[in-house]
Amino acid sequence: MSAEIWLSCRDLERYLGEDDSRVHALRGVSLDLEPGSVHAVVGASGCGKSTLLYILGLLDHADGGSLTIDGHLIAQLPDDELARRRNELLGFIFQFHFLLEDFTAQENVMIPMRRLGRLTEEAMLERAAKLLDEVGLAGKLRRPSRHLSGGEQQRVAIARALANDPLVILADEPTGNLDTANAARAFRLLQKIVRDERKALLLVTHNPAIAEACDWIHEMQDGVIVGSHARGRDARTVS
C-alpha cells in the first residue's frame, strides 16, 4: 500500500436496531484507500457493505473505531462540519442516479457546487460543462435528465459526484441498473478518472467482472472483512 492515504478506518463497529432486534452490523472493519486506487467490497446481501459505505461517507456514525480522511481524524464533529467535509472531500454515486428529472444535465452537476458555495455562477456552469465533456455528454448538457438514457443518466451522476473535486469517490452498486455494455463503460470511465486524477474509489458491487477489474477486492461476511486481495494490473480491465 502507498504511504499516502486519502481515507483510513480502523476497527469500525456499528450496531443497528434495539434490544432483541439489535444487529452487530460491523465488527472491527479496517481499510486504507490510497490515491489512484480502486477498491471493491463484495459479499452477500446484509453482510454490512452498505453500512460501511455510509459510515465512510459521513452519512452514518460508527459506534466504535476511528475514521481519518485526508489525514484528519473524524470524531464527534458537529453536523455542519460533517456536512462541509462530506461536500469537500467525498463524492457519491448510487445505484439509482437520483437526478432531478426537470433539471438539465448541467444543472444537476451544479447541485453539489451550490451546496459548497465556493464558485461563482459562471465558474459553476463552466466546471459542470467540463465534467460533462469528460463523461462524453458535451452535446447534452442542456437536456433535461428525464430525456437521457439510463447510461447517460448514470454518467451525469458520475460527473455530479466529481463536481467538488473530491479525494474519495464512494459508490453503492453504481452499475447495478445498467446493461452490460453501459456498466462496463461507466466503470472504465471511473477507473480512468481515479488513475488520472489520483482519487480513491471504493465501490460496493455484486458484479464479478467489475470486482475483478479493481485493484483490491475486500470480501465481507457478517460484518467482517474476511479477506482482502490485490489484483494484478493485467486483471484490471472490464469489457
CA distance 195 to 125: 25
**What pLDDT, on a 0 to 100 scale, did the predictor assign at position 236?**
47
Choice between 1 and 146, residue whose per-residue pLDDT is larger:
146
pLDDT tens readout for residues 24-53: 999 999 999 999 999 999 999 989 999 999
C-alpha cell at 102: 426537470
Q: Does residue 155 form part of some domain?
A: yes
pLDDT tens readout for residues 74-96: 977 888 889 889 999 999 998 77
Domain residues for 180? 36-53+90-235
Match 472531500 to its residue by C-alpha cell.
89
Q: Does residue 180 form part of some domain?
A: yes
Residue 140 has pLDDT above 70, yes or no: yes
Q: Does residue 210 form part of some domain?
A: yes
Q: Can you give the CATH number for the domain in which 170 is found?
A: 3.40.50.300
Residue 114 has pLDDT above 70, yes or no: yes
Q: Does residue 80 form part of some domain?
A: no
**What pLDDT, on a 0 to 100 scale, did the predictor assign at position 235?**
45
| Residue pair 41/221 in contact by the 8 Å Cβ criterion | no
The rounded percent of the chain whose pLDDT value lies above 90 is 72
**Worst-scoring range by mean pLDDT, 131-135, 140-144, 219-223?**
131-135
Q: Does residue 27 form part of some domain?
A: no
C-beta neighbour count of 46 within 10 angstroms: 13
pLDDT tens readout for residues 150-186: 889 988 999 999 999 999 999 998 888 778 888 888 8
| Residue pair 216/228 in contact by the 8 Å Cβ criterion | yes
Q: Does residue 195 form part of some domain?
A: yes
pLDDT tens readout for residues 46-78: 899 999 999 999 999 999 999 999 998 997 788
CA distance 220 to 236: 21
Q: Does residue 8 form part of some domain?
A: no
CA distance 50 to 29: 13
Q: Does residue 74 form part of some domain?
A: no
DSSP structure class, residue 139: G
- State the total domains in the chain: 1
CA distance 24 to 225: 14
